[in-house]
Chains A and B, each alone.
Chain A
């Protein structure tokens, strides 16, 4: 705290952080990879957008700190300094690139990207001046945004997010919209080339901002009116909303087309896996890093029982499914027994090992006649119900949706049950949970078994979706990805799992350029989350309380001095 208040230039520290981020983004090649795409055609490419929004965001944070510490003037100064410092670091990078050949070490440091940084100017001085000016403008914009009253600030933010989001996702959104007769013309107006048309961007910004402003001003009134409805009316509204949601979910694959349906199925599988792991990690607090093992067990059970390639059995998918879940549950208990006494880090390491054991077993040559070895098992039949085959992604979607609904319903009921309460107590304090009369062994094993069962279920669906299973599909990264999904979504929160899966699995699928930088993005997302929103995107109530209690309970309490005295006997 003291170090920061001694800082002479407000925002300098964050500005250097911002600059370092921008330099990193440039040097790893993301900026160049993304400059193929456009957010607003001819105005802002995605690479430029990435730099701009990163700088804007960090300058916003700087302005926010300045405002809290010393008011408006300092906020503005902090924003400007932060923006300028970031741009200055980029400018230094450009100068460095002219002096030495960075490419010998950093292969992504291409002349094209540096040309982009100086706004394609031939004269270096002019380009660098423009770059610094852009930094200052970004900083000023961030500070201005921070100094706006809450309602317009929210409106502008919503507008920016909407424009950036739709622009980035042009190649997924545009084909879908243009295939819907009535809105096809509209889509042509809004989109142009590889991004939004300038006019479309402005229109979108204004519309979203107006919508957000309306909701900020009138949302409370609308909510109040809903709360004021008669119980019957409220129930009617809820049924209506559910019916609408059900309808949307039902027609989604037809409306979105093949590619997006495929993305949806992948996201859906992660939701399924995430809901399962959420029981183990989120509800019961048992950090399981070998979760992929149960996914593999589900997949391999279905493969072995159904594939004609091995020729042991030729069950249908539906006959094999119960076995897959059963074996998953059994494996969950078998893993659970030896790790019952382990906590925290030790548990994580032990489960990590279990995940690897399963992968190495299915990879093993000596088990090849039964498990297929490195070549895996193919020719897994599709699932079928009375002649309807779950063949392509548009059909598999329904299978996964059904799985998600089932698993979501079960976890929801479990969370509020006696068992859910037992899990909560175990998560908070194992010893005391026991002293409250909770059977620790049963609670832990049930958590492992339930989570494993859900994981095996999604493994089974995965096997029939892909049609073949290979050992390399079940590496430790899957476990880590699922864990990231629930951390980013909010540990213990079920809507959080869905949000997390869309953010961490869905978005990278849509932005194919991300694929290469996936781990970088995960890492950055996790660090940013931990710093800015440690409770996750859609947190569970208890966790939000824990991390923000000082804000909620800021009011003076009658015996605050007594509490302070008790804390320091």
Chain B
């Protein structure tokens, strides 16, 4: 499908030419915001036609999923090529052609645990932006203790009947399908009776309800399953379970490590939001010039600038370590430190903007909601305390008794 060169310099000029030609200028000029993200899916409304064109152009050569194999809709790039692609995108100010939980979570799970037929069925729909997935992990009674999920799937011969509820399912109200952890063996020890199941959100008995957060937004939902019939196999004979029956915890754990690296990355140097990639100092310079005369503000800013830069170096170092053979449980460090840092940065931003910062939609745009949203960073994807537990037990190998 794709015919990019293996030679890195050659590849750079090819991909740079591709971006120049295939990504409409309008998108390159558009400031990045929640609205500028292209999520895809049956129910997605493109913010403009150019957004759709860029998604389709990129998908046509697999560049919505650069590292995935070409037979599943990816571009089959190696890590070095992917890095070049991202660099050229940044240089051209081209936005990501497509973002989705399918790309971030389900795809990697299927690539690691799925059958060839499952990959052929589900992955191209993700890379083409046709199907939008959401993640059904947490439940009202299963937060940090995720393995205690109670949503159950009863075996009815040729199908399952699913009952229960999920919480914190991001964008569930806009998703076409959900990948969910469900209990398929209620008598097994809690980690052993869980399966990783694929469920059509249009199925009878699935409903969602948005949860309004302290930041005023409602990205998260509750998702309810009321006697939802899930066929054991689809028309082509593919199982609706990824990995082995009752071994869904292995898939979930694999994905959580993935998620941690992603969330940790959000706290590093290239923060989006009001900073838009600027240094804290540069942002502060746009404010009242006397702000930096306050020695406390100045000292906090210096400290955060140092910690932010050191954190982004660490992200780079860990990415390179991952290339060389993986970072394993140490990824919990990125998640812990990255999210705690991001919270500190936003506390400082709120402090220096003073009374202007507390307006919902004032001079500093979305600063207040962004600040409030950061408080979830150290909860979602495993709390800071769970990360410290992982580091203690798995990396430092401290005893459990």
Q: Do A and B bind?
A: no
- By a beta-carbon cutoff of 8 Å, the part of chain B in contact with chain A is none
